[in-house]
Amino acid sequence: MLAAARTAFAERGYDGASIRAIAGAAGVDPALVHHYFGTKDALFLAAVEAPADPDDFLPEVLAAPPDRRGAAVVGVVLRVWDGPTRPAALALVRSAVNHEWSATLLREFVLAKVIRRVVGTMDVPVEEREARGALVASQVVGLVMTRYVLRLEPLASASPASVVAAIGPTVQRYLTGEVVLPGSDRP
């Protein structure tokens, strides 16, 4: 079932994959998928081997005032990565860097379960949300790579508060501020 789910999510994305199609590809009844995984969300988390469930930390981000949401994003990223999930998260990131299949699943996980949900709550034009989300993701992935994978100083040993103060405003600008968006016709 997990192999069929990974294939479906990688090929069709979270929104395009269905429990019925995954069960069919696995040669089982959809009720069996529901029995073992409960929901499509739980199946998706198992398929990507997610070290943390976004539903555990996204409410904190979404509860932050819109003008402080960038700082909230960075703060939550640091708490997740500084916690007990770090070894599994590092394995997932390293796998994504080396394998296109893993990169596809991680990309879909980050987009469907985190970025779209955060950007979708912001008061920005709908047509800008995808580009703004990509910019936010670039900052978060860059933070993870430099602090936890490459361990570049002084970022690697900086206090969470100082990292939030340094990077939060950039994420906030990507969420709501003036920015030249990728794919726009402005230079």
Average confidence score pLDDT of the chain: 87
Mention every residue, 6+ apart, whose C-beta is less than 8 A from residue 120.
Answer: 129
Name the CATH code of domain 2-47 (choices 1.10.10.10, 3.10.290.10, 3.40.920.10, 1.10.10.60).
1.10.10.60
Mention every residue, 6+ apart, whose C-beta is less than 8 A from residue 47.
Answer: 2, 5, 6, 9, 105
What is the per-residue pLDDT across 75-104, written as a single tens digit (0 to 9) for each? 999 998 898 878 777 877 887 787 787 777
pTM of the model: 0.76
The pLDDT value recorded for residue 186 is 58
What is the per-residue pLDDT across 106-158, written as a single tens digit (0 to 9) for each? 787 788 778 889 999 999 999 999 999 999 999 999 999 999 989 999 999 99
* Domain layout of the chain by residue ranges: 2-47, 54-176
Tell whether domain 54-176 is in CATH 3.40.50.300.
no
Backbone CA torsion sign across 119, 122, 126, 131: negative
Cβ pair 131, 182 in contact under 8 A: yes
Residues shown for the chain:
187
3-state secondary structure of 115: helix
Q: Could you give the CA distance from residue 105 to residue 160 in angstroms, rounded to a whole number?
A: 28
The pLDDT value recorded for residue 85 is 79
The pLDDT value recorded for residue 91 is 75
